[in-house]
């Protein structure tokens, strides 16, 4: 299985907000508002029994313990959250895991009961991002405003900015997307990602 490479934590300037880039920022780098400690125990589960069954199925798929103990590693937590339809940032995932140390990611495990409140918390996040947000994001790199971005530039950006992606991840993402000139039509690119 591809081990999810967890990037080292980076200071997050602010949460990515859709459609707000044009508004003038208040100051150069706003202080990260001190987030209240995430208390998983206080989260009320609002899922139905049916939903929980479905989540359990997905959770079991990622259980790699030899005796099927219904546990996943911290490193897998992000995958399961995403497989269930959310798209938290890596920072979000680490927060919900209680800011574990890097070496804990592959050695510590969580069971389904512990996972559920995490899922609930993530599912409440307002800024999941829509198709339009995604297009906007890519449009930032559309230098000529013609609906295409340079593949090479996108690769560079994804590997060096934000929550950096590895070369493998970038390759996977871009496979078959660039045309003969190395350009990517980003509307179809997005459709490719969203249809996944």
Residues in contact with other proteins by the rule CB under 8 A:
1-3, 13, 16-17, 21, 25, 28, 49-50, 53-54, 57-58, 60-62, 66-67, 78-83, 85-90, 106, 129, 133-134, 136-138, 140-141, 154, 157-158, 161-165, 168-169, 171-173, 175-176, 178, 190, 192-196
Three-state DSSP state, 109:
strand
Minimum CB separation of residue 123 from other proteins in Å reads: 13
Minimum CB separation of residue 66 from other proteins in Å reads: 5
Minimum CB separation of residue 42 from other proteins in Å reads: 26
From the number of C-beta atoms within 10 Å of its C-beta (0-12, 13-18, 19+), residue 122 rates as: buried
Report the residue number, 11 or 41, with the smaller CB distance to other proteins: 11
Residue whose entry in the numeric block shows the structure tokens 């969580």: 110
Minimum CB separation of residue 41 from other proteins in Å reads: 26
Query: Parallel, antiparallel, or unpaired: how do β-strands 148-150 and 71-73 relate?
Result: unpaired
Do 93 and 52 contact (CB within 8 A), yes or no? Answer: no
Token duo for residue 71:
């546990």
């Amino acid at each position: 299985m591809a081990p999810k490479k967890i990037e080292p934590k980076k200071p997050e300037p602010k949460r990515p907000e859709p459609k707000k880039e044009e508004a003038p920022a208040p100051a150069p780098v706003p202080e990260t508002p001190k987030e209240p400690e995430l208390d998983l125990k206080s989260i009320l589960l609002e899922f139905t029994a049916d939903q929980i069954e479905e989540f359990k199925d997905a959770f079991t798929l990622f259980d790699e313990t030899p005796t099927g103990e219904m546990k996943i590693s911290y490193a897998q937590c992000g995958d399961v959250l995403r497989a269930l339809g959310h798209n938290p940032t890596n920072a979000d995932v680490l927060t919900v895991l209680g800011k574990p140390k890097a070496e804990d990611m592959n050695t510590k495990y969580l069971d389904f009961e512990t996972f559920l409140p995490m899922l609930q918390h993530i599912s409440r996040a307002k800024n999941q991002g829509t198709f339009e947000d995604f297009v906007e994001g890519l449009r930032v790199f559309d230098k000529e405003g013609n609906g295409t971005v340079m593949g090479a530039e996108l690769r560079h950006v994804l590997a060096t900015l934000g929550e950096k992606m590895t070369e493998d991840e970038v390759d996977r993402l871009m496979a078959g997307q660039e045309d003969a000139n190395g350009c990517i039509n980003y509307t179809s690119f997005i459709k490719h990602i969203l249809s996944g």
